[in-house]
Structure 1
Amino acid sequence: VKTLLVFALCVVLFPLSHAHEHAINFLIMEILSEAMLGLCAGLLLNIVFAILQMAGEQISMIMGFSMASVLDPQTGTNSPVIANILNFIALLAFLMLDGHHLILQFYSTSLSAIPLGDFYPRSGVMSYALKLFGNLFMFGFVLAFPIIALSILSDAIFGMLMKTMPQFNLLVVGYPIKVSIGFSVLIAILAGIIKIITDMMVQILNDMPALFF
């Protein structure tokens, strides 16, 4: 399906391109140049999903869901349940922003603004990506921190209860409480997560033309 979609987009967008009359020797360089353009643009958007994946894995481990893995349709690998939930939230936010149309508009504009084979990554792209990664890493840490902190606090409370009441069954009572705390905090901060994800995606989509053209 992905191959057919890419082929169809190439056929539709090809009339917008301005090809050079280069010899066949330059064909490989032009292919690499276009692949680099797609790689750089895709990397900026994938950073958002990668950070959410990391935060979801940490939250799943704290809540005891690290072994409950399901297939992630985006990567084709197994990932924890919470990580999948956060990825789906980010994907829905991307679609609500009409991001898929903005990406198509970006690539169509790139074909008319940059002739085939003339793209070379600017230094600003790498510095922007590093700054974006740092900001998103902090967002992932802040996202996971409340759940991690409350889980550690609940573990400390359960430890004191075990000392004072040896008959207290931690496996029966403790695990459901930790899961309930984790989901309660996740639901409470869900609106903030969606707003931050939306703002960052809007910023990336608005900054991409200035970075590449």
Structure 2
Amino acid sequence: MSDAIITFLLIFCRISSFMVISPGFSLKQTPVLLKGLLSLSFSLSVFSVLPETIAMDNLYLLLFFIVKEVLVGLAIGFIVHLIFSGIEMAGQIIDFQVGFSMGSVFDPGVGIQGSNYGRLYYWLALSLFFVTDMHHVVIENLLHSFDVVPITHAVLKGTTVDGIIMLFVEVFQIAILLAAPVVLVALVTDCVLGIISRSVPQINVLMIGMPMKILISFFFMLLFLPNLVQSVSGVFPTIDRYMKEFIEALVR
């Protein structure tokens, strides 16, 4: 196998594994041919600017580097996936509070069981991901990773693990902050219903409570929608920051 083919194969492994897991590129409805063509075009662009090809005669060493490139691509894509999971988690917290979690259905777009507000938050974030050109930033960081982390070099140190732990903390913080306005409205609604049930025992609060919470949460969701769009857009720079920090941590 020639050195050029080996180099291109290693580049393709990192980029294609990123495409498999990263939101926006890994949708179930996206044709496999389109994903393959995107991975191939990005790989060709990286291969065309590499200063030299990689010479490798040992088959076992080649397999090791293939696995390494796949893991690096998956790790970079997993960072983007975690941020989107935090945004979707915010919707799931709201669903649990207003009672929509009982009506969760399978979402064929992402291939998981999703609830109403959870899917709303996810697809809103995905739309803003492309509208704000954040996908260009993500692709730029992926291609830049070949300059920072060469094909035959990557070291996982303690700083990388600490960064992933901080990213998990950031994900939960994002989920709580995005869900807080509607959750507070639902909690106030529960308090009002509790006061009504104590003041007027003849009213069946269990019968009117669930549809009332759903209607009130839907009304306030529409009311908070402009702020929600702004808040979700403000989360996206976190993706850029953590991608750069993770890529740089691999060679420290």
Per the shorter chain, which TM-score range?
0.7 to 0.9
Deviations 1:192-212 (A, max 9, x none): 332232223124225534542
CA drift at 1:57: 1.5
Contact residue 69 and residue 79 of structure 1 kept, 8 A: yes
Contact residue 29 and residue 117 of structure 1 kept, 8 A: no
1:49 aligns with 2:84: yes
CA drift at 1:171: 4.1
Contact residue 37 and residue 121 of structure 1 kept, 8 A: no
Contact residue 70 and residue 78 of structure 1 kept, 8 A: yes
CA drift at 1:124: 4.1
- Residue 161 of structure 1 aligns to a residue in which SS? helix
Give the corresponding residue for 2:7. none
CA distance in 2: counterparts of 1:194 and 1:124, whole angstroms: 33
Q: How does 1:1-213 map to 2 (within 5 A)?
A: 1=30, 3-15=32-44, 16-17=46-47, 18=50, 19-22=53-56, 23-111=58-146, 114-121=149-156, 123-206=158-241, 208-209=243-244, 211-213=246-248
CA distance in 2: counterparts of 1:61 and 1:142, whole angstroms: 16
Deviations 1:104-153 (A, max 9, x none): 33333334554433233454443333323323312311332333333233
- Residue 120 of structure 1 aligns to a residue in which SS? coil
Deviations 1:56-91 (A, max 9, x none): 112112111112223324431221010000001110
Please, which runs of 5 or more residues in structure 2 have no aligned partner?
Answer: 1-29
Match for 2:135: what amino acid? H
- Residue 166 of structure 1 aligns to a residue in which SS? coil
CA drift at 1:39: 1.6
**Which moves more between the two structures, 86-95 or 42-51?**
42-51
CA distance in 2: counterparts of 1:9 and 1:54, whole angstroms: 29
Match for 1:77: what amino acid? I
CA RMSD of aligned residues (A): 2.6
TM-score norm. by structure 2 comes to 0.72
CA drift at 1:154: 2.4
Greater RCO, CA 8 A, separation 6+: 1
Contact residue 147 and residue 181 of structure 1 kept, 8 A: no
- Residue 117 of structure 1 aligns to a residue in which SS? coil
Match for 1:9: what amino acid? L
CA distance in 2: counterparts of 1:166 and 1:112, whole angstroms: 70
Please, which runs of 5 or more residues in structure 1 have no aligned partner?
Answer: none
TM-score norm. by structure 1 comes to 0.83
- Residue 78 of structure 1 aligns to a residue in which SS? strand
Aligned residues with identical type, % of pairs: 24
